[in-house]
Structure 1
């Protein structure tokens, strides 16, 4: 009975019903879509991280360590992990290009020629610098051009972007270790790369950190994808919280619409009470109206969230949407419906307390 009467009343007050409905839809979409996209991106990063077959170890700067020494590298080499140990030098330098007319600050990396060949598949001489093709395009440079680091003139060798290790490690500017020491000095190694199999990565990571740290907390494992995943996780939660605020605003609007509904239907409520409707009947009628609006609005909002999220993740970002990302859609329905019912309690209570005689006079 309550359900049928609630449907009839919603149809009779189409504009108010539509405004409340749209508030719920927008609130649910705002709450769900950021979570769905964030969870999908995080899942894609975790999958990519699982494919990585190297470990990146950096000095623990929080403990005052900024470089690794030759002795540290020897420790790892003596251990014989049956994998490749690649120590890397780095320094921030001013690079001049276009015959000195332009300059920019870059992080230049120094490797010995054997390790350089392993990472870049290129022969980079002591008079050359390997630069990522993406960086070359941004700077308006091309293969064979010349740049200057301090007083050294170096010829550019283009490094392709399809080398996953280079792109993931951010090794955009590479020179030989001999050239690096002449230009930047030799303070020590800024990172150590250990190339290994995916199956033994976890074991070697733990053993190498234990070996380097020994009695001091000198080394930590760095993973840019894991850090990025953590940042995206926090960002998606933050954006979902903003969506939650919009859903709360929507629920306040629903409360206002319901109160206006009570005011407009005062005479109708008086008639219902005069023919025997109880306070419970009146209250349940208004709650059913809010429930129907909330349920339909939440379902439509969830469908819109999923469809929009799928299009963004699949065709714009280029990732697959994991099934567990739909938990945010469930959150949207649950929270949206709950807030809708809460926002309708006061208007429903106010309607149930109306004096029938006073209501009929209006």
Structure 2
């Protein structure tokens, strides 16, 4: 085998111009894929963080049927005290869970004493909300960071602009509770909430104790429990660890709870899937570049070395050894391109990470992207390149092995 490697290296070195051109094409393909993957992965991670850490959390738990009717904000599908306790028994002992918070979602009428309009609201526990959604405060405009207090509310930006509502204004919130009675509450506007596309992107916020007061709730009652997990990459494992909740049945033998990951609730997940498809497409392009490059150089090598192949075959070299020789050449090209491409990609990504790339996302501008290249990505792309290099060498290798020594030696 050592002799085969030496001969293969000598053959590649002998055709140095073609070898370098082929290796350069492979290297460029590897660089393109790895740098794109680093940028794409960083952007996807940023998007996921913005959505989950500012609004949705990683997992949401509701009473069965709530999500199907969420547009109506049904108060009759809230979780009661006993159901909340069952959920907390699971969450408190779950190794994947970092924190959780409670919300009451409701609709009502908002008035600034001049005009009135419909409004969607989230009643929150400010302390738990800050821990579970660490980026929520970034969405609050025209307000100093502080915990939302009783008697205060945050108004969605579109409503504030349409009605001319400003920080410090006094407003009236009017809602109907489950029994149908109408109740009102005076609240002070302490901030404007920046919108985000998707469910909850245009909601206002106020204290959960104010919600209990205006809805006349005596016992613990919430619309949803928002869960933050320690590692978002283990979302599916965390979901499976909570599946025991879906097995709990009521007296009618129907499930009591439903659990949804943020990927099922946010339209932004479709963008993530599109980026994943683009990643696959880029890798297919890489495979094509490597396949065509290796195939071309191997076929040309066979035609240029017909007499040489005929000579070694006439000397008794078995066809299997000739196949190994060409496969080794393809393997060497793949390894060289993968190594050089990975090194250059690592340097490029480090430079981009140091400089940073400025971009805008939604209403936020002057954001800086800091890409990083994972070792798993480098290994995966390198393995793909090497395997494709071997596959591309198979056809020329067998073609060379099947040459008749007499016919090969007669070639001019």
Pick the TM interval, shorter chain.
Answer: 0.5 to 0.7
State the distance in 2 between where 1:267 and 1:89 align.
Answer: 81
Q: Which residue of 2 aligns with 1:4?
A: 6
State the distance in 1 between where 2:384 and 2:280 align.
Answer: 12
Q: Which residue of 2 aligns with 1:241?
A: 280
Runs of at least 5 residues in structure 1 that lack an aligned partner in the other structure: 162-167, 181-188
Q: Which residue of 1 aligns with 2:223?
A: 191
Q: Which residue of 2 aligns with 1:349?
A: 398
1:171–1:261 CA distance, 2 compared to 1 (3 A)? same
Q: Which residue of 2 aligns with 1:264?
A: 304
Does 2:147 correspond to 1:121?
A: yes
State the distance in 2 between where 1:318 and 1:136 align.
Answer: 34
- Residue 291 of structure 1 deviates from its aligned partner by 1.8
Q: Which residue of 2 aligns with 1:300?
A: 340
State the distance in 2 between where 1:61 and 1:312 align.
Answer: 47
State the distance in 1 between where 2:101 and 2:319 align.
Answer: 78
Q: State which of 190, 201, 204 in structure 2 corresponds to 1:157.
A: 190
State the distance in 2 between where 1:93 and 1:255 align.
Answer: 70
State the distance in 2 between where 1:345 and 1:191 align.
Answer: 62
State the distance in 2 between where 1:54 and 1:248 align.
Answer: 35
1:320–1:309 CA distance, 2 compared to 1 (3 A)? closer
- Residue 148 of structure 1 deviates from its aligned partner by 12
Does 2:238 correspond to 1:220?
A: no
CA shift digits 1:45-67 (9 cap, x unpaired): 79x98xx9997433544885543
State the distance in 2 between where 1:135 and 1:356 align.
Answer: 85
State the distance in 1 between where 2:323 and 2:77 align.
Answer: 79
- Residue 73 of structure 1 deviates from its aligned partner by 3.2
Shifted more, 346-355 versus 53-62: the winner is 53-62
1:254–1:223 CA distance, 2 compared to 1 (3 A)? same
- Residue 285 of structure 1 deviates from its aligned partner by 2.9
1:273–1:107 CA distance, 2 compared to 1 (3 A)? farther
8 A contact 2:246–2:257 mirrored in 1: yes
Q: Please give the TM-score of this superposition, normalised by the length of structure 1.
A: 0.60
Any idea what SS the aligned residue of 2:338 has?
A: helix
Please provide the CA RMSD for this pair: 6.0
Q: Please give the TM-score of this superposition, normalised by the length of structure 2.
A: 0.54
Residue correspondence of structure 1 range 138-177 to structure 2 within 5 A: 143=167, 156-158=189-191, 173-174=204-205
Specify which structure has the bigger relative contact order, considering alpha-carbon pairs within 8 angstroms and separated by 6 or more residues. 1
8 A contact 2:334–2:385 mirrored in 1: yes
8 A contact 1:251–1:343 mirrored in 2: yes
1:59–1:170 CA distance, 2 compared to 1 (3 A)? farther
Aligned residues: 325
Q: State which of 116, 120, 127 in structure 2 corresponds to 1:108.
A: 120
- Residue 294 of structure 1 deviates from its aligned partner by 1.4
State the distance in 1 between where 2:256 and 2:7 align.
Answer: 72
State the distance in 2 between where 1:196 and 1:298 align.
Answer: 39
1:230–1:357 CA distance, 2 compared to 1 (3 A)? same
Q: Which residue of 2 aligns with 1:130?
A: 154
